[in-house]
Amino acid sequence: MSTQSTPSLGIEFTTIRSVKDALTLASAQKYDFLVIPIIRKQYGTDLLTNYGSKQLAWPAIASRLKGVGESADMSTALVALIRHVVDVDSSNVHIRNKATKLLQEELAAAQYFSVARVIIRIRNGNITNLTRIAASTLNTLYFAYWFVFPTSAQSNSDDDDAELQPWLWWNKIYKLLDYHGKVYPVLELSADVPSEQAQKRWLGEPVRAVILPTKIFTTNAKGFPVLSPAHQLFIIKLIKLKVQFIIKGINPRDSTLFEPYLQYLKHVTRQTEPTNRVLESFTHGYEDRLQVPLQPLADNLESRTYEIFEKDPIKYIQYEKAIYQALIEKYDQKKPVTIMVVGAGRGPLVNRALEAADRAKYNVHIYAVEKNPMAIISLHAQKQEWGNRVTIIHEDMRSWQPVCKADIMVSELLGSFGDNELSPECLDGAQRYLKDDGISIPYSYTSFICPIQSPRIFSELVYNRDANKPYYANFETPFVVYLHNCFFLAETKPLFTFTHPNFSNPIDNSRFGEVEFTIPTTGTMHGFAGFFDAKLYKDISISIEPNTHSKNLISWFPMFFPIREPITLSANSTIKVNFWRCCSSSQVWYEWTVVEPTTLPIHNPTGRSFSIGK
Binding region for ligand SAM (CB under 6 A) = 296-297, 301, 306, 309-310, 343-345, 348-349, 369-372, 375, 396-398, 412-413, 426
Is 257 in contact with 25 (CB distance < 8 Å)? no
CB of 452 to ligand SAM, least distance (A): 26
Please tell me whether residue 22 adopts helix, strand or coil conformation: helix
Residue of 412, 425, 460, 476 marked active site = 412
361 labeled binding residue: no
Q: Look at residues 167, 182, 90, 78 and name the one whose alpha carbon lies nearest to residue 568.
A: 167
Residue of 421, 460, 476, 591 marked active site = 421
370 labeled binding residue: yes
Helix (H) or strand (E) holding 93: helix 93-112
The residue (of 345 and 478) whose beta carbon lies closer to ligand SAM is: 345
d(CA 110, CA 129) in angstroms, rounded, equals 19
The residue (of 177 and 353) whose beta carbon lies closer to ligand SAM is: 353
The residue (of 114 and 305) whose beta carbon lies closer to ligand SAM is: 305
The residue (of 326 and 489) whose beta carbon lies closer to ligand SAM is: 326
CB of 348 to ligand SAM, least distance (A): 5
Please count the residues of the chain: 614
Is 412 designated active site? yes
**Structure letter (DSSP) for residue 331:** S
CB of 345 to ligand SAM, least distance (A): 3
CB of 343 to ligand SAM, least distance (A): 2
Which residues, at least 6 apart from 267, have a Cβ–Cβ distance to it below 8 Å?
Answer: none
CB of 459 to ligand SAM, least distance (A): 31
The residue (of 102 and 369) whose beta carbon lies closer to ligand SAM is: 369
In b/e form, how buried is each residue of 321-351, taking b as 16+ CB within 10 angstroms? ebbbbbbeeebeeeeebbbbbbbbbbbbbbb
396 labeled binding residue: yes
Angle, CA 321 vertex, CA 319 and CA 322 arms, to 5°: 65
d(CA 192, CA 159) in angstroms, rounded, equals 11
Is 248 in contact with 214 (CB distance < 8 Å)? yes
Is 421 designated active site? yes
306 labeled binding residue: yes
Is 499 in contact with 428 (CB distance < 8 Å)? no
SS3 of 212-266: the string is EEHHHCEECCCCCEECCHHHHHHHHHHHCCCCEEEEECCCCCCHHHHHHHHHHHH
CB of 245 to ligand SAM, least distance (A): 43
The residue (of 280 and 310) whose beta carbon lies closer to ligand SAM is: 310
Active site residues: 412, 421
Annotated binding site for S-adenosyl-L-methionine: 306, 315-316, 370, 396-397
